[in-house]
Chains A and B, each alone.
Chain A
Amino acid sequence: MDAMGNIARMTGAEASLLPHLRFTEDGETYLYAAETGGLFRLDEGVRDALSSLASITETGTPELSRDVRGDLSKAGILRRGEMAGREVRPVAHPPLRLRTLVLLLTYSCNLACRYCYEDRDGGCTDGQGRPGAGAGGDATGSVASAPREMSADSIRESIAFLLDHSPANSKVSIVLFGGEPLLRFPLLRAAVREARAMAHARGKEVSFSVTTNGTLLTREIAGFLKENGISVCVSIDGPREIHDANRPYASGRGSYDDVLRGIAHLTAGRDGHPLAARVTIGHGAVDVRKTFDHLRGLGFDEVGFAPASAAEGSRTALGGEELDRVLDGFRELAAEYADDVRERRMPAFSNMTQILSLIHRGDPMPYPCGAGIGMLAADPSGVLYPCHRLCGVGESMGDPSRGIAVEARTRFLDGARRRRESSCDACWAKNFCSGGCYHDAYLRQGSLFAPSTHYCRWIKELFLLGLKTYVRIQNETPTFPEVMFGERGIA
């Protein structure tokens, strides 16, 4: 037995390999370590060592040089056996540091999008502005009697709650959401003015964004949004044939022309404020390349894609082949993203911006999103939920008059933590997806805290694409990541 073997044994431990991904790009080999979030370039010594480590057994660790073992331990790839399988100790959840509040001004909508709320045929409104079955409620319709429109009082209380529960000197963000928030434009306008005054009185800054289907935008509304620096995210699914198929009015008439008219109001007299498009990818509408080009042509600065939340087997759920086609499109867009960066053009593929940001920072991600941590949503009755998608689904997080439901919040975050530390613990992509969207898991698997296994393969492919794109950008344009995603980064 040589000294190395002795040392390994003396510590009383076999080693275990921790979740990681090895990949090659441009002839070099790279290693992403999930435990630390570190991304490293390898030399041949480590590459060979990793191959031999794949044969770790109960009886011991293959012999590695001290340097290699030290590097792998430090990077978070190798762990001494004593530590492996250790019991996960309960860790306190982060305190509520509210920065974003989503206000569901109304559940009503003038469109009847194909993928919005399952099994609803009558559109989001019943013609009198009241929602159709399923909109915003749970499966049993138990909130059918709850208000469908937010009152001015409720808005005021919600904004005060946000301002009072955000860290001192912080900038807070209010997302004006629905339904279709522009159906209640006078209310929206009043909310913005009131929030500004309330924030000013408390010495805080507030910013706004609105997510709209774009059909109700007028010159007056566009002018108000511009004057107030409100970020606008328009839901649009692509060229006319795709958009009209997915996003018709309840009558069946397509909404594309109206959205285009609305966008023209936004783009007229632009002042450099970025305009973002949010595309929902659903069954039969997966040509992301074509959609991306179309929307860029319409004047959008950013285009982001999200798969429709849909129950398994529903008519809007994406099939496996369709997900692959989406990924093919994403690969093309990612290559162009790196080209844009090299040529000093602002890249527009916002999914990639988000992924690159996660990769650059490499921070652990114990929860899949900020729901219940930095973000809450208030439904039209003012009741708080972890996010806008979860309004009416699962437990509420309290309301402005009674405050946060501390135990419900703990249960919610416990569920997220449990999922990540059990089902997802051994996955190299856990710091990217952290189990996936609660709402999607709820629709597909009936539980907020089921891991989104239906997306696992896809998510891993997507993040591998992100890692490769990141490496390419680091090699070609090394100044970009820090400028974009660093401490003072703009993304």
Chain B
Amino acid sequence: MKHLKGVNRKGKKIEKEKADLPVVEAQGSIPFMHTCTSVFNPGYEVDWTGSTKQLCTPIETDLFGTTDMYCWWPGQAPDTYNNPDWNADCNRAMKDWMKLKVVKPEW
């Protein structure tokens, strides 16, 4: 932690912890690359409480797991650097996934 300094026992403990799961930001230390194989994402098998409830959610929840540096599944989703508005209307994958735009390759 750079900006927060633990004061009580719990705060000091949290400060010392290397990462809290699953904070996506923690993966930012992995060099950015457009590939699906070099990133290990412990991801969505368990949720933050350690529950396996997420195993039963629809595949749409995984859509964002297939993009960019979070790509832990052979990705069919477009990268958001070249297609920044691809997911503009999709705030919640499970609810809004039908609003994702189709990306037509240009060449």
Count A/B pairs, Cβ under 8 Å: 127
* B104 contacts chain A at the CB level, 8 A cutoff: no
Which A-chain residue is minimally distant from B90 (CB atoms)?
A12
Tell yes or no: B49 within 8 A of A by CB. Answer: yes
- Interface residue ranges of B62-107 to A (CB < 8 Å): 63-64, 67-68, 70, 80-81, 84, 87-88, 90-93
Complex interface residues of chain B between 1 and 34 (CB less than 8 A to chain A):
1-11, 13-15, 17, 19-20, 23-26, 28
Closest to A44 in B: B3
Q: Quick check: A71 and B3 within 8 Å, CB to CB?
A: yes
Chain B residues whose C-beta falls within 8 Å of the C-beta of A486 in the assembled complex? 9
Which residues from A are CB-within-8-Å of B68?
Answer: 6, 10
Kindly state whether residue A360 has any CB partner on chain B within 8 Å: yes
- Distance between Cα atoms of A36 and B28 in the complex (Å): 23
**B40 on interface, CB distance cutoff 8 Å:** no
Interface check A253, CB cutoff 8 A: no
Residue B37 is within 8 A (CB to CB) of chain A in the complex: no
Give the interface centre of B4, B13, B68 by most chain A CB atoms within 10 Å.
B4
Chain B CB within 8 A of A93 CB: no
Residue from B3, B6, B84 in contact with A1 in the complex, judged by beta carbons closer than 8 Å: B84
The reply to whether A360 and B19 contact each other, CB–CB distance below 8 Å, is no
**Please, what's the 1-or-0 string for A74-98, where 1 marks a CB less than 8 Å from any CB in chain B?**
1110001111000001000000000
Within 8 Å CB of B81, what residues of A? 6
Say yes or no for A482: interface residue by CB 8 A criterion.
yes
Q: Are A41 and B7 in contact (CB under 8 A)?
A: yes
Beta-carbon nearest neighbor of B64 in chain A: A12
> Are A69 and B49 in contact, CB atoms less than 8 angstroms apart?
no
* Residue of B with least CB distance to A362: B10
Residue A271 interfacial (CB < 8 Å): no
Q: Please provide the 6 A-B residue pairs with the shortest distance between their CB atoms, ordered closest to farther.
A: A362-B10, A38-B11, A40-B4, A39-B8, A12-B64, A46-B3
Can you give 7 A-B contacts (C-beta < 8 A)?
Answer: A31-B4, A58-B91, A68-B3, A71-B1, A82-B93, A359-B8, A486-B9
Closest CB of chain B to A171's CB: distance in Å? 23
Would you give the 0/1 interface string for A31-69, flagging 1 where the beta carbon is closer than 8 Å to chain B?
Answer: 100001111111101100000000000111000001111
Q: How far is the CA of A463 from the CA of B42 in the complex (A)?
A: 38
**A residues in contact with B23, CB < 8 Å:** 70, 73-74
A80 and B20 CA atoms in complex are apart in Å by: 13
Shortest Cβ distance from residue A8 to the other chain B in the assembled complex, whole angstroms: 10
Whether A71 lies near B64 (C-beta < 8 A) is no
Contacts of A31 in B (CB 8 A): 4
CA–CA, A59 to B9, complex, Å? Answer: 36
Give the chain A neighbours of B7 by CB distance below 8 A: 30, 39-41, 470-471, 474
